[in-house]
Amino acid sequence: MTFFPPAIRRLPPETVSRIAAGEVVERPASVVKELIENALDAGATRIDVRCENGGRSVITVTDDGMGMTRDELALCIERHATSKLSPDDAGDWNLLTIDTMGFRGEALPSIGSVARLKITSQVANSQSAWEISVHGGQLKPVRPAPKFGVSGTRVEVRDLFYATPARLKFLKTERSEALAISDIFKRLAMANPLVDFTLGSGARINLRFAAGSDDESGRLSRLGAVLGSDFADNAVEVNAGREGVFLKGCGGLPTYSRGNAAHQYLFVNGRPVKDKLLGGAVRGAYQDYLARNRYPVVALYIDLPHEHVDVNVHPAKTEVRFRDPGLVRGLIVSALRHALAGAGHRASTTVSDYALGRIQTGNESLSLQGDYRSRPGFVRTPHQPSHGRDPALQPLIDGHSAKVEEIPEATWPEPA
């Protein structure tokens, strides 16, 4: 039997767009991340995010940034069209000095190829706003729209993955997707204390982080607002530098540990990252303090010259490469170890204070009163079940079915 290999052919543009979208838009949280990053690059001081049904049905991100003109709006949904890169005097496009959150020009075209996308934008002193829509890769013409402020952009994403139904099967439960949205929302809020962040569903506000200052006190204040007062009370400050690389932030006490690495917040030049090198450095710093199945809670900010780090590793922009990885790793390990050594044998207050307060001296025995597992500082082991649900996330899951009051301070649920 003679085998005839299939002929090589060009894929149609719509198919190419949907294939490329898979690298950028993995789940609803990916959409939220890309849209918030666009808002930050536009100079926004207020960013409002609304999601329904874990982001499957509706995701809306509104900002007060510089906005886009009619011509720019038509260009923004074209692949690899961006305002964040420009050639130098020699005509070269340098990708090693990127100082913006985005730069590929892939986010909006990717979202528009798999969902129903509508973008409304306006610039300062304009007579009207402009609107453009893309449904499953099908572009609709730009048209006038009512103004909604001085300047800014509103992006509405409906029916995510309706154009690629197979992708829907790989989404997790609505609760898990809502948790992922909350996670990336908080990480971006931690990296940008100057910006007012709001996360909600419909008219309800579930998380709100007011804008603060961009100095060290503002950063620490934002950390306390996002991670809660428990973290601030059970962490040591980290501040170190070496050969142009600077490290600031907080490292949790060894007794304030968790059962997974989901509570490690790492930022490189203001960009939230999940990097194996950095994660390994954190583990190395704590290896003499924690059991192998325990993970520290840390929030670390690494700042270094842009040309010393490559963020153009993956379309999701969560991985980075350092010019001198040994320098970065050594700085993290030494700084954390120095801070932990300075803390001595200090124990986390959420565990020790509660336990000491509950020990009752009886005639014949000592007993612990109450359900200690429900305490906020309790460190669960694999044999101890998690209790309760995060009320801040429930409206993102149930849409408009529940009435939830505004939560002034965020809490971190265990990942589903």
Same domain, 152 and 17: yes
Ranges of residues in the chain with a pLDDT under 50 are 352, 354-392, 397-416
pLDDT, tens only, 345-390: 666 665 545 444 444 444 444 333 344 334 444 343 333 333 334 4
Q: Counting Cβ atoms within 10 Å, is residue 378 exposed (0-12), middle (13-18) or buried (19+)?
A: middle
Residue 77: CB atoms within 10 A of its CB come to 22
Same domain, 151 and 25: yes
| Structural domain ending residue among the three candidates 347, 376, 411 | 347
Same domain, 156 and 241: no
pLDDT, tens only, 170-182: 999 999 999 999 9
pLDDT of residue 21: 56
248 occurs within a structural domain: yes
320 occurs within a structural domain: yes
99 occurs within a structural domain: yes
| Structural domain ending residue among the three candidates 347, 381, 396 | 347
pLDDT of residue 84: 58
pLDDT of residue 166: 87
The Cα angle at residue 188 between residues 185 and 194, in degrees rounded to 5: 120
371 occurs within a structural domain: no
Which amino acid belongs to residue 236? V
Quote the number of domains for the chain.
2
H or E element, residue 221: helix 216-227
H or E element, residue 137: none
Which amino acid belongs to residue 416? A
41 occurs within a structural domain: yes
From start to end of 274-376, where are the E strands?
295-296, 298-303, 309-310, 321-322, 359-361, 366-368
Same domain, 21 and 142: yes
Same domain, 26 and 163: yes
Query: Comparing C-alpha atoms, which of 142, 135, 200, 157 is closest to residue 34?
Result: 157
Domain span at residue 317 reads 235-347
Same domain, 50 and 154: yes
413 occurs within a structural domain: no
Report the interhelical angle of 276-286 vs 325-343 (nearest 10°). 30
Contact indicator for 273, 320 with CB cutoff of 8 Å: yes
Same domain, 252 and 132: no
Same domain, 128 and 267: no
186 occurs within a structural domain: no
pLDDT of residue 89: 59
For residue 29, give the CATH number of its domain: 3.30.565.10
For residue 283, give the CATH number of its domain: 3.30.230.10
Place of tokens 């962490």: 235
Torsion over CA: 90, 95, 97, 101 (sign): positive
Same domain, 239 and 153: no
CA distance 250 to 234: 10
Place of tokens 């829509």: 133
| Structural domain ending residue among the three candidates 287, 318, 347 | 347
Same domain, 156 and 257: no
Same domain, 261 and 159: no
DSSP 6: P
Tokens representing 49? 């995010």
296 occurs within a structural domain: yes
Same domain, 159 and 280: no
